[in-house]
Structure 1
Amino acid sequence: MTADAEYPTAPDRGALVADDQVAAQVYLDPDIYEEELERIFYRTWNCVGHESEFPEPGSFKTLEIGRRPVIVSRDRKGRINVLLNRCRHRGALLCEKPSGAMTSGFTCPYHSWSYALDGRLRGIPYPEGYPEDIDKSRLGLQRLRVETYAGLVFAHFDEDAAPLHDYLGAARGWIDLFMKQGAGYPLKVQGAFKFRHRANWKIQLENVTDGYHFPLVHRSWMANVDAETAEMLSFMKDPRAVTYGLDNGHSVGIFVPEHVDLGEDDGTEPLQERFASLVADLAPDLPPRDVRRLVRSLHGAGFNLTIFPNLALSMGFIRLLNPVAVDATDNAHIALGYEGGPEGANRERLRIHEHFQGPFGFGTPDDSDVWDRVQRGAVADPGMAILLDRGLNREQTSDEGHPWSHITDETGMRTAYTMWKRLMTDVH
């Protein structure tokens, strides 16, 4: 197809996606957005958080999957549940708190129907208005199917869906590598920065493995960091910096090849001078090998991993997205730290996160602005192509059958749209 291709206005969604481009309609058409909710977000595994956010029974948080509000809670038996945030009586929203702890359950503010942490209906006020044999077991909150991998919690609306293990496919190995940034400690959530940007969700999804934009959009950040950090992220001409398309729309982009496997260290990489005071603080309590492992992990893993459709494991943090409208996306940038690890190391990781991702950081405003510009610019001609052909001429296939090319190429985006087309057309 060419950049001047005519795209259909009829609901032939597959015709909107070619090997090298997509129509701007996929960002703009509210009918496409409605179909995406039904055919993608309500029919695939969505990540809803990390197990460390629910450290004890009674811990919970609320969020949305598409338009559907849910509660994620840990029950008295230690299991994590994902429940529709909707009373079975008259449909009221049960819980509006973003998170909490030590709760015993959830009570509807309308008529006080009460539910346990696992969704079981516990009580109905003034029950004499109902038959004596009312079956409470049939009136519990709707439960989603829940599975976890490496501490990540996923939910699915279909109880009969294929297992999460199969859905993740080759991405499992990359998730395992990402978790090695714990440097011997379990990873924990240290907090989240949440915001909404005025652009379609797929624009952000594309961005995760888009190395092409990084030194251009984030020039101010590159100019503001120390020379060693800037050099670490000077990957534009590094042949080892590549992107792989994985199974089911997932992809991984390698930005810092030396930090892909943080469990491997031959001892030759100098520790950054910016961390000298932290090294001095850690040295009395930890052996040199453990100090090196912690300090090398402060920036996170050396890659960004996209798990279609709503999760990014982005070097040192977790990003969850949720499409709230055709032109609006909610984001949670979740900072990670070391459970039981040195306070100074956790503090340093937070400062690194804030410098790029926080509300006063450099990266989030840069990215949000260009995502917004893509959305506004695409309106100029909804039928004009969004080009995704960078690197197609040099793309190769790995021994495992995965396409790959340089980190500045658009392999990851093409992989995501292959999955998008599959789900939107039921063509496998």
Structure 2
Amino acid sequence: MAISRILIANRGEIALRIHRAAHEMGIETVAVHSTADAEAMHVRLADHAVCIGPPSATESYLNTAAIIAAAEITGADAIHPGYGFLSENAQFAEIVEAHGLAWIGPKPEHIRTMGDKVEAKRTAGALGLPLVPGSAGAVETVEEAARVAEEIGYPVLVKAASGGGGRGMKVVPGPDMLESLIRQAKNEAKSAFGDDTVYLEKYLGNPRHIEFQVFGDGKGNAIHLGERDCSLQRRHQKVLEEAPSPILSEEDRSRMGGIVAKAMADMGYRGAGTIEFLWENGEFYFIEMNTRLQVEHPVTEAITGVDLVREQIRVAEGKPLSVTQDEITFTGHAIECRINAEDPFTFAPSPGKVTAYHAAGGMHVRVDSGLYAGYSIPPYYDSMIAKLIVYGRTREGCIMRLRRALEEMVIEGVKTNIPLHNALLHEDDVLSGNYSIKWLEDWLARRDR
């Protein structure tokens, strides 16, 4: 099926990213937007635009009926969900396909399987991915949890099966705290996700977060595009990502890449996906799979030269992958800074009018953003307003270029976390690549003393 018009069921920089890839393929775009986003750049640049509701995401970007109606009245023949919102909603994917539209994403059954963390872990184990020691599935009683905890050893981690962003997650240091922390995790999970199912895993003391980009054609062929190191996090939210990881060897990359690519081929996976691992003492442990495009996909594009959004559209048209594993090469180093409208050190949101804007430029500097001078950042959505991606032949050269690009970046009228990124890029541990998922929060705590 040839796609001629894509409805982009998202907003902000990712909506622009999809628009640009589509136009480079000769495909028209439809922007949907809330009333708060009427003047957004993705709305201005799209070929067609439809208002789908008021500012609340529930009544606009999460409004399935309004999005399908927008596709029908504009004659769209495909929907790309971007990331967030409805991108990992299996029911939405099924509704899109039931209306005869191409779904630019994985098969709904794979979204559903990998969206349930218990089922995802079970599936990952069956596909040969290395797992964190833990319960085989959900733990129903405190007695069952106690048995599992004794087997794998304390400390253990209680995790919500439907969780994300650290909600419904508790570290249990010893048996005396098990019952109360399970109760807290279940209450949090029920409140946040409507599901109080929890499971147990071995708690890893000081791991790194390393994820592999995978891509399948849905017909049993799959490749990997290397790893990204996303260990610089605050409250389980990524702040800075880089590729390749400064601590992985070429042997590790090839071995794990082969494992994840085979798993996706065996699964019959379609489209872009990311398999996330914790890494400690040379060992990988599967934590989850994201069945969508990631925020940090540009660093993979920088070191491989593969346009991942273009590849998503091709696969949705039923075409084969445009590259084979043998044709994928990893060259140089790339780092992405997530630029948020927030206080750089208290992290309080800072929506408002952008009075001046100048994007950094120069060789191998990319800015993904919908900002412009005079644009008012609405308070209703995620605070990320731009992504600064820089490439260099070496990691050291990449860091120096990134420092220069951050100095050039001008966003006035609101606070941003650019000063945080500047500070991080002068820290010895970051410069040497010697950091874990706990490093940033520890560093921030030291600054506050």
**Fold shared per TM-score above 0.5:** no
Question: Aligning the two structures, in what range does the TM-score lie when normalised by the shorter sequence?
Answer: under 0.3
- TM-score normalised by the chain length of structure 1: 0.25
- TM-score normalised by the chain length of structure 2: 0.24
Task: Select the structure of larger CA radius of gyration.
Answer: 1
Q: Between the two structures, name the one with larger relative contact order (CA 8 Å, sep ≥ 6).
A: 1
